[in-house]
C-alpha cells in the first residue's frame, strides 16, 4: 500500500485555496490597479521589467519626455524605503510616490501607471536625486511617514471635480498670484523636495513661498476620492519659440473638509539651474 504524505497534501490544498495573483487580474478596480502597482514595485526593486504584463507599444516617459523602457530609470535596482499609492478607477490609472534613502543613490520619485484591460499600457516616472530642487530623501521620508493619507470617511469625501478644482486653484495661483482663490487649510503642510513648511502648529500654512509669473501647464490628473487625493504631472512653463519646455513637476494634494491638508511636490530641476525668482525655462 502506498503511503501518503498528509502534510504535503494539506499544503497543496492550501495553496490551491489561496488567491493566485496573475496578470489577468489587472483591471480598473482598486484591487486590479493595486496589483499593477505591486508588479511595478517588484520590477523596480529588481531593475527587471520581464515580469511586467506590458501592452504592445507600451508608452514610457521620464520627466515628461519619451524614454527607452529597456534602458531607463525603471531598470535601476533599488531598495524602496517608503511608498504611497493612489488609485483612479475612473481613468484606470495609479500614482505611486517612492522614497529611496540609499546614501550612494538616493531618490524620491513618482510613477504613474495606466492599465488597459489586463495590461500596463503607460508608465511615466518623474525622478529627483541629489542636486535637484530642494532634494533631501531623509527629510522626505521622515515627514511623509508622519502624515495621514488614509481613507476619508464616506460622508466627508470631496467629489472628483472638487479635488481637481482645488489642485487647479493652487497651480493657477503661480501665474497671477491670486492666492485668495485657493482653498487653504489650517493646518496645511507642504513637502517640497525635502523642505517642509510645517512646525506642528494649528496655524501651519501651505501658502508661503508661492511666486508669481510662472505658468504651470501640461497638467494631467490622477484622482482618488477615497483618499481625498489628486496628483498632477505638469511642467513649469510651456517652452518658447526656440523650443524647449519648463521643468517636469509633480504636485500631490490631500484635501480634507474641502481644504488643502498636505501638498507634496517633486521638480526635476537641478538646483544649479535655478535663476532669480523662477526656474530657468519657465517662460
Q: How far apart are CA 68 and CA 191, in angstroms?
A: 30
Q: How far apart are CA 8 and CA 224, in angstroms?
A: 44
Residues 203-210: what's their mean pLDDT?
A: 87
Residues 184-191: what's their mean pLDDT?
A: 96
Residues 158-176: what's their mean pLDDT?
A: 96
Question: What local confidence, expressed as pLDDT, does residue 39 receive?
Answer: 98
Q: How far apart are CA 84 and CA 109, in angstroms?
A: 11
For 245-266, the pLDDT digits (tens) are 789 999 999 999 999 999 999 9
CB 144 within 8 A of CB 189: no
Question: What local confidence, expressed as pLDDT, does residue 245 receive?
Answer: 77
Residue 45 or 282, more confident: 45
* CA torsion through residues 211, 64, 223, 94, sign: negative
Question: What local confidence, expressed as pLDDT, does residue 265 receive?
Answer: 97
Position 180 pLDDT exceeds 80: yes
Q: Are strands 82-88 and 93-100 parallel, antiparallel or unpaired?
A: antiparallel
Position 164 pLDDT exceeds 80: yes
Question: What local confidence, expressed as pLDDT, does residue 12 receive?
Answer: 45
Average pLDDT, the chain: 89
- Phi and psi torsions of 274, nearest 5°: -75, 130
Which residues, other chains included, contact 209 with Cβ-Cβ below 8 Å and sequence gap of 6+? 197
Question: What local confidence, expressed as pLDDT, does residue 247 receive?
Answer: 94
- Number of other CB atoms surrounding residue 193 within 10 Å: 21
Residue 212 or 271, more confident: 271
Q: How far apart are CA 255 and CA 174, in angstroms?
A: 19
Could you give the count of Cα atoms lying within 13 Å of 271 in the half-sphere of its Cβ? 12
Question: Grid cell 489561496 — which residue?
Answer: 18
Q: How far apart are CA 255 and CA 183, in angstroms?
A: 9
210: confidence class by pLDDT, cuts 50, 70, 90: confident
- Number of other CB atoms surrounding residue 176 within 10 Å: 11
Position 9 pLDDT exceeds 60: no
Q: Which domains are seen in the chain, by residue range?
A: 22-146 (3.10.450.50), 154-279 (3.10.450.50)
For 84-96, the pLDDT digits (tens) are 999 999 999 999 9
Question: What local confidence, expressed as pLDDT, does residue 13 receive?
Answer: 45
Predicted TM-score (pTM) above 0.85: yes
For 109-153, the pLDDT digits (tens) are 999 999 999 999 999 999 999 999 999 999 999 999 999 999 999
Residues 225-238: what's their mean pLDDT?
A: 95
Amino acid at each position: 500500500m502506498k503511503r501518503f504524505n498528509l502534510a504535503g497534501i494539506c499544503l497543496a490544498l492550501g495553496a490551491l485555496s489561496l488567491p493566485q495573483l496573475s496578470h489577468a487580474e489587472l483591471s480598473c478596480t482598486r484591487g486590479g490597479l493595486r496589483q499593477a502597482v505591486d508588479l511595478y514595485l517588484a520590477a523596480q526593486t529588481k531593475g527587471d521589467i520581464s515580469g511586467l504584463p506590458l501592452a504592445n507599444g507600451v508608452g514610457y516617459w521620464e520627466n515628461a519626455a519619451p524614454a527607452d523602457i529597456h534602458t531607463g530609470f525603471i531598470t535601476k535596482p533599488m531598495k524602496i524605503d517608503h511608498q504611497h499609492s493612489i488609485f483612479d478607477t475612473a481613468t484606470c490609472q495609479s500614482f505611486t510616490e517612492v522614497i529611496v534613502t540609499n546614501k550612494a543613490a538616493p531618490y524620491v520619485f513618482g510613477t504613474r501607471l495606466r492599465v488597459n484591460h489586463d495590461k500596463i499600457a503607460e508608465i511615466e516616472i518623474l525622478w529627483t536625486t541629489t542636486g535637484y530642487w530642494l532634494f533631501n530623501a531623509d527629510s522626505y521620508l521622515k515627514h511623509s511617514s508622519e502624515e495621514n493619507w488614509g481613507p476619508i470617511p464616506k460622508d466627508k469625501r470631496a467629489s472628483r471635480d472638487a479635488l481637481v478644482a482645488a489642485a487647479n486653484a493652487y497651480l493657477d495661483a503661480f501665474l497671477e498670484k491670486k492666492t485668495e482663490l485657493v482653498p487653504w487649510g489650517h493646518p496645511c503642510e507642504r513637502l517640497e523636495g525635502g523642505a517642509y513648511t510645517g512646525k506642528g502648529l494649528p496655524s501651519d500654512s501651505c501658502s508661503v513661498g508661492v511666486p508669481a509669473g510662472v505658468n504651470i501647464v501640461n497638467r494631467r490628473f490622477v484622482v482618488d476620492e477615497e483618499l481625498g487625493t489628486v496628483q498632477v504631472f505638469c511642467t513649469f512653463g510651456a517652452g518658447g519659440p526656440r523650443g524647449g519646455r519648463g521643468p517636469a513637476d509633480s504636485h500631490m494634494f490631500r484635501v480634507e473638509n474641502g481644504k488643502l491638508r498636505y501638498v507634496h511636490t517633486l521638480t526635476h530641476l537641478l538646483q544649479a539651474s535655478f535663476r532669480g525668482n523662477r526656474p530657468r525655462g519657465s517662460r
